[in-house]
Amino acid sequence: MSLPSTNSPQLQSGSTIDSPHSQTPQPDELVLLDKLRQGDGASFELLIREYGGYLMTITRRYLQSEADVQDSVQDTFLQALRSVGQFEGRSSIKSWLHRIAVNSALMKIRAQGRRMEELVDDSASLFDERGKRIESEPEIGESVEDQAINNETRKTVRKYIEQMPELSRNLLLLRDIEGYSTEETANLLSISVASVKTGLHRARKLLKKRIEQDHK
């Protein structure tokens, strides 16, 4: 399977925002889906050309190795081909592939022996000025995308996110960039809802602090 490094001209599939919650398929997408369900090889090649570059961009946010990125995107397309018969078309093809790609990347992280739950204590614990652990603290409600409107472009904010520790990076990507709910994020990372809330709180604070320090 040959994957492109950048997007080719895309189908008229609606929004280009990197979100797993996009519109229903357009008419040309429905035609493509029908052909994929019929096992049309040319349509599968079209799927790769249209969405390969986009999925590589998404997957690179989670995986540091380019070889892992390539493997994960290939796995995404293979999973899509196997499950296209069960895809009901309630979201766009882009959104459908997006979700498969995120799951594939996170599965690769877990397969490499890195359990997210083990990172929570180091990456997500909060302490007061006396060094005492804070057991519960209200979740910061403002996402990093909202903060970016006021003090950074989204492109720059995402650059900082890429430099974050693994758990913090994935929490920010899933909750603030891609818009998954707290419960969905917990399921995707195989951690508790409480860990998501605590970890996201600290990740947002850490990101804000790094941005402020670099722009003093």
pLDDT digits 0-9 by tens, 131-143 = 444 444 444 455 6
Q: Are residues 169 and 187 in the same domain?
A: yes
More confident residue, 122 or 66: 66
What would the pLDDT profile of 36-58 be if each residue is shown by its tens digit? Answer: 999 999 999 999 999 999 999 99
Q: Are residues 42 and 128 in the same domain?
A: no
What mean pLDDT is reported for the chain? 77
Q: Are residues 106 and 152 in the same domain?
A: no
Question: Which residue pairs, CB below 8 angstroms and at least 24 apart, start in 71-74?
Answer: 71/108, 72/101, 72/104, 72/105, 72/108, 73/3, 73/101, 73/104, 74/1, 74/3
Q: Tell me which of 79, 111, 143 is where a domain ends.
A: 111
Q: What is the mean pLDDT of residues 60-73?
A: 93
Report the C-alpha gap between 199 and 125 in whole angstroms. 7
Q: Are residues 99 and 152 in the same domain?
A: no
Q: Are residues 95 and 174 in the same domain?
A: no
What pLDDT is recorded for position 51? 95
pLDDT tier for residue 153 given thresholds of 50, 70 and 90: low
Q: Are residues 157 and 99 in the same domain?
A: no
Report the C-alpha gap between 33 and 62 in whole angstroms. 28
Q: Tell me which of 111, 139, 164 is where a domain ends.
A: 111
pLDDT tier for residue 17 given thresholds of 50, 70 and 90: very low
The answer to whether the beta carbons of residues 73 and 4 sit under 8 Å apart is no
Q: Are residues 93 and 135 in the same domain?
A: no
What pLDDT is recorded for position 116? 54
pLDDT tier for residue 123 given thresholds of 50, 70 and 90: very low
pLDDT at 2 over 70: no
What pLDDT is recorded for position 21? 56
8 lies in a domain? no
pLDDT at 129 over 60: no
Range of the domain at 66: 27-111
Q: Tell me which of 47, 82, 111 is where a domain ends.
A: 111
From residue 98, give the alpha-carbon distance in Å to each of 134, 136, 215: 36, 33, 33
The CATH code of the domain that includes 105 is 1.10.1740.10
More confident residue, 11 or 88: 88
